[in-house]
Amino acid sequence: MKNKSLVSITDFSKEEYLKILDTAAEFEKKTYQDLLKGRVISTLFFEPSTRTRLSFESAINRLGGKIIGFNDSSSSSLAKGETLYDTIRVVSNYCELIVMRHPMEGSARYASEITHLPVINAGDGANQHPSQTLLDLYSIQKTQGDLNNLNVFMVGDLKYGRTVHSLLMALSEFHASFYFISPDELRMPEEYKSHLRNKKLSFHESRELDKSIRDADIIYMTRVQKERFSDPIEYERTKNAYVLKNEMIEGTKANMKILHPLPRINEIDVGVDQNPKAYYFQQTENGVYVRQAIISLILDL
Ligand code: CP
């Protein structure tokens, strides 16, 4: 993994995922370590973020490193018309690793091709969010004890949701069975279903979140992403498609867990937060350990 960029989850092998999860477990036992002392990492966020930016920055701080960057591109020279190319070329002179979120699909790949530094994609449009996937895998392994042969329900915006795209690709290495629950307008894109067919993995599609969720090991809820819609009427039609409530998860497996990359709008009723099957807030904590692991392995600390 040394000096490798993490742009798509498929940039890393199954063995590398497992190495990251093992390393994250070590950081969970001892999170403050001075491995990055005297070293500088850039966090360039061209799009809003709470968890990804702050957990990366917490991870860097816990490793003793320094952070430069911005969380609002209007405060950078992009506002004066500087190109992404020039921005990345310049920032590459100031740090050893770039963590970048950008609204344009393919932007992180582009950045990785124009810098000699490793780039971690912190989300590029509706495309990929690989560090989120690794923390999702960590959360699934921690709660289920095993990543293999799980029934995974993905619910909500499966068209624009970059987290479900990355997670599907990763879990396809572990023989998961998938259940896609979405409105017709927000179905899982064909390229991902095609990938599952090629791997001979089963998937079911439905508009309804019905009694089949009793088979779920993981329910992965997602937000309908207003910022990705070109048609506001389509957003209005789909935004309240699913609201998970306690009564809907009665009769589910004892060890079933509800994950959500967050932010939540209304797709999980707040009453579910106290349910022992809700795991989305613990999931955010796992993000710090996993991001410590990703940074330490890429920089070979
Ligand atoms: N899960 C996630 O990407 O959250 P943020 O948009 O707050 O970073």
Instruction: Give per-10-residue mean pLDDT for the chain (301 aa).
Output: 96 97 98 96 96 98 98 90 96 98 96 98 93 98 97 95 94 97 93 97 93 95 77 72 93 97 95 98 98 98 95
Q: 50: Cβ below 6 Å to ligand 1?
A: yes
Question: What pLDDT is stored for residue 241 in this prediction?
Answer: 76
- Regarding whether 108 and 94 lie in a shared domain, the answer is yes
Number of the ligand 1 atom closest to the C-alpha atom of 48: 6
Q: 264: Cβ below 6 Å to ligand 1?
A: no
Task: Specify whether the CB–CB gap between 111 and 92 falls below 8 A.
Answer: no
Question: What pLDDT is stored for residue 185 in this prediction?
Answer: 87
- Regarding whether 62 and 20 lie in a shared domain, the answer is yes
Q: 172: Cβ below 6 Å to ligand 1?
A: no
281, with CB counted inside 10 A (0-12, 13-18, 19+), is exposed
Q: What is the span of the domain harbouring residue 121?
A: 9-128+286-298
Question: What pLDDT is stored for residue 229 in this prediction?
Answer: 64
How remote is the CA of residue 117 from the centroid of ligand 1, in Å?
24
Q: 277: Cβ below 6 Å to ligand 1?
A: no
Question: What pLDDT is stored for residue 157 in this prediction?
Answer: 92
- Identify the CATH number of the domain in which residue 245 sits: 3.40.50.1370
- Regarding whether 200 and 170 lie in a shared domain, the answer is yes
Number of the ligand 1 atom closest to the C-alpha atom of 50: 7
Out of 44, 72, 101, 132, mutate this one to test ligand 1's pocket (max ligand atoms within 8 Å of CB): namely 132
- Regarding whether 144 and 120 lie in a shared domain, the answer is no
Ligand 1, atom 5: nearest CA belongs to which residue?
49
- CA-to-CA separations, 81 to 68, 85, 94, 244, in angstroms, rounded: 21, 11, 21, 44
Q: 161: Cβ below 6 Å to ligand 1?
A: no
**Inside any domain, residue 3:** no
How remote is the CA of residue 71 from the centroid of ligand 1, in Å?
13
- Regarding whether 164 and 216 lie in a shared domain, the answer is yes
Question: What pLDDT is stored for residue 224 in this prediction?
Answer: 82
> Listing from the earlier edge strand, what are the strands of the sheet with 151-155?
203-206, 177-181, 151-155, 218-221, 257-259
